[in-house]
Amino acid sequence: MVATIMAVSPTIAAASDESFSLKVSSHGKSVDASLGSFCGTGSCSDSAYPLEAHGRLPIHSGGTIALRPDSPASPGVVASRVRVSIVRYKGDDRQYTSEPRDARPTDGSRRAWVIQLPHLLHGARVLSVDVAYPNGSSANFEAAFEPHTHVSKSCRHVAFTPNSDDMAAGIRVERVSCTFARNFIRDFDEAPAERYRGYTCTWRSVDPADSLAHTRFRCTRGTRVIFWKRY
């Protein structure tokens, strides 16, 4: 959280808050996070929470979000640390549902940061983001979000041997085409690997009493998912 908050006049606060901004992105949508309490060079401002939201960001548990903090009043000054917490409100009572997580910069410029969210959101609907700058400035932001569920679709099976059970069935995909998935499964079948074409793959064998034994595969790349059963 932003430390050492002092009361300042509305005029000073209004002039200073233009120095800090944060854009948060997920699933192709971006929102401007709301600036809360902050300390700039020579002045601080305290804000009443919850902050007014500027739109809602679609996210899902365990998903990845991108953050772009900026300080227009200090060109060239980039963030030195970005921390994200998951928050829920009961009235004005601010409750943290997870430990703060440090985002990581995407490259040496430190202008864009990414973070993976926890798998359990506990009914939270707000991201609280603390940004620290090398010059000693710091700011807290909030961005409202709404749970986003990927809609999966079924694809036609892949036959490896005609007129037999040698096939991949139960194929379901998210954010990829069935054509891509079926070609991916054909190629993957020749040389299964935990890392394949940029996807991370896992699998396990199952032997249910009411159906044929098979292996269940799941390959993911960001929000893209390919799932199938190999008989």
Enumerate residues 6+ apart whose C-beta is below 8 A from 42.
Answer: none
Task: Give yes or no for a contact between 159 and 166, defined as CB atoms under 8 angstroms apart.
Answer: yes
Give pLDDT, residue 1: 39
Q: Could you say which residues of the chain have pLDDT below 70? A: 1-18, 72-77, 150
The class (CATH top level) of 10-147 is mainly beta
Give pLDDT, residue 205: 92
Give pLDDT, residue 72: 58
Give pLDDT, residue 76: 60
Peptide bond into 50 cis (omega under 30): yes
H helical segments located in the chain: 10-16, 178-190
Q: Is the dihedral of CA 179, 185, 188, 193 positive or negative?
A: positive
Give pLDDT, residue 3: 37
Name residue 57's beta-bridge partners. Answer: 145
Residue with tokens 């932003």: 2
Beta strand 57-59 with 138-147: parallel, antiparallel or unpaired? parallel
Q: Alpha-carbon distance 153 to 60, whole Å?
A: 18
Strand, coil or helix: what is 153?
strand
Give pLDDT, residue 136: 87
Would you list the domain boundaries of the chain? 10-147, 153-230
Give pLDDT, residue 75: 60
With CA atoms as reference, report the closest residue to 117 among 98, 95, 132, 94.
98
Give pLDDT, residue 134: 87
